[in-house]
Structures are given as C-alpha cells and as structure tokens.
Amino acid sequence: MKYFAHIFIILFISLAVFSCTEKIDIKLDESYARLVVDGSITSDTMAQTIRLSSTSSYYYNQPAPMVSGAKVTITDGTQTFPLSEKTPGIYQTASSVFGIPGKTYQLNISLAKPIGGYADYFATSTMYPVRQLDSISLLYHPEWSKEGIWEVKCYVQEPPTVDFYRFLILRNHTMLTDSLDEWFVTDDVFFNGNYTNGATVAYLQQGASQESLSPGDDVTVEVNGIGKDYYDFVMEAQAELRGSNPLFSGPPANVKGNISNGAVGSFNAYSATRSSTKVPVFK
C-alpha cells in the first residue's frame, strides 16, 4: 500500500511550514541481549548467507556484536545444507546451493553458549514463485524536484493468487537498495490479476549521488516473490525506521520475526527474477 506514502507527503507539507528538529538527550535503560538472525535462501545458485549477531544497548554506537561458533544448517526436509562461518557471525552454504519455489525450508541454529536464555533456535520459510517481468521502463520527471526524479516502472501480468513482492534496484550491477529501509515491498491488493502496465516500483533521486543515473547506465530491477510473514516483517521494520509522530503513528512496537525462542530478525526463503534497461539520453 505504497499509496500511503503519497498521503504522508502531502500532509507533511502543511507541517513542514512550522516544524523543526533538534538533537535531544534522552536517557534510556538497557534491556537484556537477544540473538539477532538475518538470513535467507534464494532461488539463485549461490552461497546462501545467515548473519548472527546479538542485540545491544540502543546507544551502542559500534557495529553489532557478532555471534561466532554456532552450528547452522538449512534443510528442506530431505536435503540438509550445512553452513560454515566465513567471518565472525557470517555463516554460508556451499556456492552450489539454491532453493526451489514451493518448498519449505527450515533454519536450525545451535549456539556455542546461550543468549537470552536459549542456545537452540529454528525458523521456517516457504519459497514463493515470482514471474519474469515483461519489461521495465524509466520515466524522468525533471519538475518533481530540483534535479528531477526517476520513476522505475514495471510491466507484467500479475497472477490471480494473493502475492507479495520485494523490488530491489541495481545500477550497473551494483545494488542501490542495499538496506532494509530502501526496499520496496508490496502486496497485490490493488493490482491482483491485472496487467501492471507500468506500475511504479521505485523512485530514484537524480540529485542524490548514490541514486543518480547517466545515459547508458544499466538499471536492473530484481523482483522477489516473498511470503506474507516476510512482507509484514519488512513493513513493520520500515515503519519503525521511518520514525513516528502524533498524527500517523501508532505506539512503537517490536518487529515480529519468525525465529523461535524470542530471537529477533527473520529467515526468509524467496525467489528472484531480473529485468534490465539502459538509461536514455535526457535533459
């Protein structure tokens, strides 16, 4: 329901006239440490990665403390893929591993020593299929901001089933949307079973160096078929990252993941397809 983004924009204009921000000292308590799981298995053939860390105090101001020495496996019920620790807290399968849409995968973690009272954790995730896009296109809106804004549009026949998607953007084969707050996830409530006919999947700010495009650049859209649980997880996490205010936001709340025993984070099986286009001459 990206439409809400529109509402936020227009309503905030009225506030922007008055509002200001400044840093403030707020003393915060520290809660107990929990295991943080951040990992996935995809339909691509590659070393599938699971990242294990632990929570820290909110003002920790250093990279997250990584969790080493765990035994990690992924299984689809018949086959089990062991993961080995490449760097502290980063666990990977062999590079020949890939997931198959329709299968359900289980992640098993056994820590060397317990965190938050537990040493063993598991999570399951079902891989959903995704269609190859017919094409993507780029539309430049010079009037939308000082430097202009690119609209990335996609063309595909959306299936009649209930589906959830994640869209990632690559520029010259480098991931632009490299953090959770930049991903675009959507359900198909407003498009279900329709031909999308150029529905917008991303906006790129020409004025921001990380997002600006030059004629001839390759722009790739990666579409992931994801489950409802993961869609909810990303939506909730994004809501917490975008901050709150008395108008739109409910009380802040912890992001619900799918890991057992109170661990934070998620394990997500997803499928991926990619479509590319070249940036035209503009301006």
Partner 1 sequence: MQKLLLIINIILLLVSPSITRAESNENETGKVTLSGYVHDQSNGEVLMGVSIYCAETKSGAVSNLYGFYSVSLMPGKYHLRYSYVGYKTLEKEIQLDKNLTLDINLEPVEAVLGEVVITGKRTDENVRAPEMSLMKMDIKTIRRVPALLGEIDIIKVLQLLPGVQSTSEGSSGFSVRGGSSDQNLILLDEATIFNASHLMGFFSVFNNDAVTDVALYKGDIPASYGGRLSSLLDVRMKDGNAKNFGVTGSIGTVSSKLTVEGPIIKDGTTFLVSCRRTYADLFLPLAKDENVRKSKLYFYDINMKLSHVINENNRLYLSGYSGRDTFKNEFASMGFGNQTASFRWNHLFTKKLFFNLSLIFSNYNYALGTPEGDASSFKWTSQMREYSTRFDFTHYLSDTHTLRYGATFMFHEFSPGKATGLGTESVVTEFVLPKEYALEHSLYVSDEYKATSKLTLKYGLRFALFQNIGPGTYYNFDSNYDRIDSTVYTRGNIFHTYPSLEPRLAFTYLLNKVSSFKGSYSHTAQYLTLAQNSTAGTPLDIWFPATPNVKPQLCDQVGIGYFHNLKSNMFEISAETYFKNYRNVIDFRDHALLLLNPYLEGELRIGTGYSYGIETMIRKNDGALTGWVSYTYSRSFRVIPEINNGNKYNAPYDKPHSVNIVLNYDVSKRFNASATWVYATGLPVTFPTGRAVIGNSIIPIYSNRNAYRMPDYHRLDMSVSYKGKDKPGRKWHGEWNLSIYNVYNRHNAWAINFTQDAADPNVTYAEKTYLFAIIPALTYNFKF
Side chain identity, residue 247? L
Position 181 contacts partner 1 (CB under 8 A)? yes
Position 207 contacts partner 1 (CB under 8 A)? no
Position 85 contacts partner 1 (CB under 8 A)? no
> Considering only residues 27-46, where is the footprint of partner 1 by CB under 8 A?
28-31, 33-34, 36, 38
Among residues 76 and 188, whose Cβ is nearest to partner 1?
Answer: 188
Among 87, 249, 278, 280, the residue binding partner 1 under the rule CB under 8 A is 249
Applying CB under 8 A, the span of 76-84, 96-104, 205-213, 262-270 interacting with partner 1 comes to 262-270
The site map against partner 1 for 208-247 (x = CB under 8 A) is ------------------------x-xxxx-xxx-xxxxx
CA Rg value for the chain: 21
> How do strand 164-171 and strand 174-175 relate by DSSP bridges?
antiparallel
Applying CB under 8 A, the span of 17-25, 122-130, 206-214, 218-226 interacting with partner 1 comes to 17-25
Contact 203, 151 (CB under 8 A): yes
C-alpha angle with apex 273: 271 to 277, nearest 5 degrees? 160
Among 43, 48, 53, 271, the residue binding partner 1 under the rule CB under 8 A is 53
Among residues 36 and 127, whose Cβ is nearest to partner 1?
Answer: 36
C-alpha angle with apex 237: 17 to 46, nearest 5 degrees? 130
Among 45, 110, 135, 190, the residue binding partner 1 under the rule CB under 8 A is 190
Find the distance separating the first CA and the last CA of the chain, reported in whole Å. Answer: 32
Nearest of 122, 152, 117 to residue 222 by alpha carbon: 152
Contact 182, 170 (CB under 8 A): no
